[in-house]
A and B are shown apart, each in its own frame.
Chain A
Amino acid sequence: MPLLPPGIEGWFTARGWAPHPHQTDMLARAAEPATLLIAPTGGGKTMAGFLPTLAELGADPAPGLHTLYVSPLKALAADIKRNLRVPVEEMGLNIRIEDRTGDTSQTQKKRQRADPPHILLTTPESLALLLSYEDAPRIFAGLQRIVVDEIHALAESKRGDQLLLALARLQGLCPGLRRVGLSATVEDPAAMARLLARHPDPCTIVQADPGPDPDIAMLQTAELPPWAGGGGAYAIPAVLDEIKRHRTTLIFHNTRAQAEIFFHNLWLANDEGLAIGIHHGSLDRAQRERVEAAMTAGQLRAIVCTGTLDLGIDWGDVDLVIQVGAPKNVKRLVQRLGRANHRYNAPSKALLVPANRFEVVECVAALEAVRDHALDGDPRGPGPLDVLCQHLLIVACSGPFDADQLYAEVRSAGPYAALPRADFDDCLEFCATGGYALKAYDKWRRLMQRPDGRWHLRDPRSAQRIRMNIGTIQDSDLLKVRMSGRGGKPLGEVEEAFAASLSEGDTFLIGGQIVRYEGLREMTVVVRRDAARKPKVATFSGTKFATSTQLSARILTLFAADDWPQLPRHTADWLALQRAVSRLPQQGRLLIESFPHDGRAHLCVYGFAGRNAQQTLGLLLTKRMEEMGLAPMGFVATDYATLIWGLDPLDDPAPLFDRAALRNGLDHWLAGNAVMKRTFRASATIAGLIERNIPAAQRKTGRQATFSSDILYDTLLRYDPSHLLLRITRAEALRGLVDFGRIEEMLDRVGSRIDHLNLQRVTPLAAPLLLEVGKVPVSGAAEERLMAEEAERLMQSSGLATLPGN
């Protein structure tokens, strides 16, 4: 080890350790402009990232910022600070390590700007904020290295796009800056490397030994999984047995809601009083921190959790991971498995619990994919323009800029490498004037051009508002939940739509306890503890991941087999019955079943396009069916099929799947849909049209002062349909919640090969859909009729209808 200074080498040898090969490899490549390290959890990834910094700084470094570390979680930054300070002290290095996140005090932040530490640990948002200051060049002077941790997680969202724009900016300030990315296993390391490096610089990929394959299986239960639903409650006794057999078990769920319900049921069945906690992103911070502390101290036997525990925080002695519900995505499953067993080179142990009969098939397909090392992932496409708009505003806060130079700088960020100049100019125009076809704001424009052509903020005071709204995480539709009474305990957050559906006295689950809704006070949901054993309202909805394209394809491949020895008997029999009375869906074909049920015509479309796309398909198809006079009444969508019911049966499905007609539906009719409005709100917030936070002094009292972003969307659609933000909204609709891209992918896959079967009754594969929750009624005339009925009922029952004058 020629590169390791004696102090550090001595530290390793004193412990009888030797650096891992990938750690020395990273050290040897310390001078390269960009390096991506791919290593499993527990592989000393973080140390591999920091060793070159420690070696360069040495025992007695000069003052000034040397290395910036960026992670997706504040908690991770704090965790690394603790874990790095100890060895640095033991090595006798005089290196200052500090973190800077939303939780850092103002005094500390001010001091850090004046006198930066050697190593600063931060998040993408805090970094963007630092770059917005006029003294950014001074703060970052001398910066040598940037380490991006968990880059695979950041790269999946707009936070990654924002970070890479910030890196482009930093590189302008510090031309010699070297980049290091630390990543879990990903499906396309080369694509990740291209994102990380300054475009078009090369980026070396260092692959650590991935360690032994995980020991992963399906949990055997005495009870059969139910036909539909997502809770996994049937598996509670078997899960409790596993918890007892292991030291610490992580129980992952796909949604917060399911985690809450499962935790509640687990607690009711926990006769031995095992220490079990719950952890998810909607819980109050203090509550989460308590669980984290108890876990680090080894006091918990199990934690019911969601994706918030996906990332590489060191949670100590986890020896079993249980995934409840189909993993939906093989890559995420593999990354979750890495949470068990932190000893490098020991296999991690995991169990899958399918929530229903169809998920048994999906879990088996996922197990096969894990064994084949076949990871999935959909390419994210070019960098989103709403994030670019925010970046331009951040740059403007830091001082005047030249548009040509900034365009070149933005193109050096991986996601924006192919950004057309016209798009850049549109974003700049949007930031400057709003970019409307009607030129209304010349006097009040946000950015002005100086005589030398450089752009600057018209009103320097607007920098404060821009800084207050930095970030791409959308939490604007969450409401805080508090216990009633003065200074009531904060419990967490629920979605605004869920809060709006509550009536006084409704009970629901949060943080594992049942609470009763008391009312809404100043945008806070006030609740009281309730002694009920069963919550009245299911719980709040969470994000629903769609099954990945690759996993869907594996399920179809599995269907094509003659028999299924790898499936439990009950599931194999079910598929065989479907094959006998109808058909199983096939790769490259689209199966559509028509059957009467309960006096209504049913249509089941097995698109295998994932939940979001199947939902969109339901909206588009029912609209077309309404135009065709088939009187559709509603639909329900899962990851693999959409079931539509209505008054009249369908004769020929082919015209329904005409691509141009579906596209047209997306452009015209779907434009008015709530999902599109939600997509618009998110992009408009990121781009700076809607402000999440405004200075307290300017906050108006009274709710009538604010109005819904839906009105802005409707107005733009009516008067300025080609506006940048509507273009961004449509581009977002192709992925994400609307996921029209997956519908197009399905149309490509099946071409004209549509199999329409007319059957006498509901089929085995369609039956579970009848039991699914989340049925969507078809609105339009139906909604007005519902309103009229309900209004009439209320007037009659209150006696108001009989009053004179009414």
Chain B
Amino acid sequence: MNGYDFTLAGVSLVALGSGALWWPDQRLLCVSDLHLGKSERLARRSGAALPPYDTRDTLNRLAADLTRLQPQIVVCLGDSFDDLDAASALPEEERRWIARLQAGRRWVWIEGNHDPGPIGLGGTLLAELPVAPLTFRHIARPGASGEISGHYHPKATLRTRGRTMTRPAFLADRNRVILPAYGTYTGGLRSQNPALAELMRPEALALLTGATVHAIPMPR
């Protein structure tokens, strides 16, 4: 499997090249910041008509991860929808698609800053999800441990022999993991950003997503 094995609070986890986090012992798959309906929200808010295929593309990639891993629990770590209206404006076809993905497994929507409150789809909506010894929440809390969060869309850059390669990245240290954004229409925040640099311990790693996951000391 294309992934990077590491431990958090004694739990073995795998950072996948797709940007999802896999907890084999619980058969739990976690994805963050799907931002479904982003193109619809942009059209509604600003009149920009971006290619309306982002939700489809995100679900395609998620479906591929689900087929491959067959998780029993799926945790969407917040900002699953670009806003609540985007959730309710989701075309019927895509609602049914999500329902098919949910069938036969436990599905948890964690509240995000973009999508607090009910979303009218199957699954459970929670502010945060504790699965001892870990806690899943949208935004990292300073001082927490065993914490899995998203929100920041971290990305990291690797420079080598004149080439610069930037990828969405997991940030991991002994207290927490911050997931990269999984949604298609999402940008990234450099790991050097003070918000990330202050959250992460000095020995934190950045796990660069892509065809192979590469671990490097988190660039700051």
Contact = CB atoms under 8 A, between A and B. Distances in A.
For B6, B53, B162, B193, which residue has the most chain A Cβ atoms within 10 angstroms?
B53
B153 A698 contact: no
B184 interface: yes
A789 B159 CA distance: 11
Contact of B40 (A440, A458, A708, A806): A440
Given A784-B211, A806-B205, A795 B49 contact: no
B49 A441 contact: yes
B163 A783 contact: yes
B215 A795 contact: yes
Given A705-B187, A790-B160, A795 B52 contact: no
Nearest to B151: A704
Interface stretch (A320-328, A431-439, A651-659): A431-439
A444 B47 contact: yes
Contacts of A445: 49
A784 B49 contact: no
Nearest to A459: B47
A805 B7 contact: yes
A723 B51 contact: yes
Contacts of B161: 786, 790
A794 B210 CA distance: 18
Contacts of A712: 50-51
Contacts of A708: 187
A703 interface: yes
Nearest to A719: B53
Nearest to B174: A805
A786 B205 CA distance: 19
B186 A704 contact: yes
A787 B214 contact: yes
Contact of A787 (B91, B152, B160, B185): B160
B215 A707 contact: no
Contacts of A718: 53, 57
Contacts of B51: 434, 436, 712, 715-716, 719-720, 723
Interface string A608-639: 00000000000000000000000000000000
Interface string B180-199: 01001111111001000000
A500 B48 CA distance: 28
A502 to B, nearest CB: 10
Contacts, number: 133
B95 interface: no
Contacts of B47: 444, 446, 458-459, 462, 465
Contact of B52 (A438, A790, A798): A438
Contact of B160 (A433, A789, A803): A789
For A433, A443, A689, A715, which residue has the most chain B Cβ atoms within 10 angstroms?
A715
A691 interface: yes
A691 B158 contact: no
B105 interface: no
Contacts of B162: 501
Contacts of A1: none
Contacts of A791: 158, 208, 214-216
Contacts of A433: 49
Given A440-B52, A441-B52, A698-B46, A703 B214 contact: no
Interface in A758-806: 777, 783-784, 786-791, 794-795, 798, 800, 803, 805-806
Contacts of A270: none
Nearest to A497: B164
Nearest to B57: A715
Interface in B6-48: 6-7, 39-40, 43-48
A783 to B, nearest CB: 7
A503 interface: yes
B152 A704 contact: yes
B54 interface: yes
B160 A786 contact: yes
A708 B157 CA distance: 15
Given A501-B164, A719-B56, A795-B216, A689 B50 contact: yes
B72 interface: no
A434 B52 contact: yes
A694 interface: yes
Contacts of B103: none
A105 interface: no
B165 interface: yes
Given A786-B163, A805-B7, A446 B174 contact: no
B44 to A, nearest CB: 5
Nearest to A691: B48
Interface in A671-720: 689, 691, 694, 698, 702-708, 711-712, 715-716, 718-720
A798 B216 CA distance: 9
Contacts of A704: 152-153, 181, 186-189
A429 to B, nearest CB: 11
Nearest to A446: B47
A702 B189 contact: yes
A715 B56 CA distance: 10
Given A446-B47, A689-B50, A691-B48, A711 B165 contact: no
Contacts of B49: 433-434, 436, 441, 444-446, 689
Nearest to B91: A440
B217 interface: yes
Contacts of A465: 46-47
Given A434-B51, A720-B51, A795-B216, A503 B159 contact: yes
Given A783-B163, A791-B216, A711 B205 contact: no
11 contacts: A436-B51, A436-B52, A441-B40, A441-B52, A445-B49, A691-B48, A698-B45, A712-B50, A715-B53, A716-B53, A791-B208
Given A720-B53, A787-B160, 13 more contacts: A438-B53, A440-B39, A446-B47, A694-B46, A703-B187, A704-B181, A704-B186, A712-B50, A715-B53, A718-B53, A805-B6, A805-B174, A806-B215
Interface of B: 6-7, 39-40, 43-54, 56-57, 91, 152-153, 157-165, 174, 181, 184-190, 193, 203, 205, 208, 210-212, 214-217
The 8 closest A-B pairs by CB, nearest first: A434-B49, A440-B52, A707-B187, A790-B160, A444-B43, A719-B53, A704-B153, A791-B214
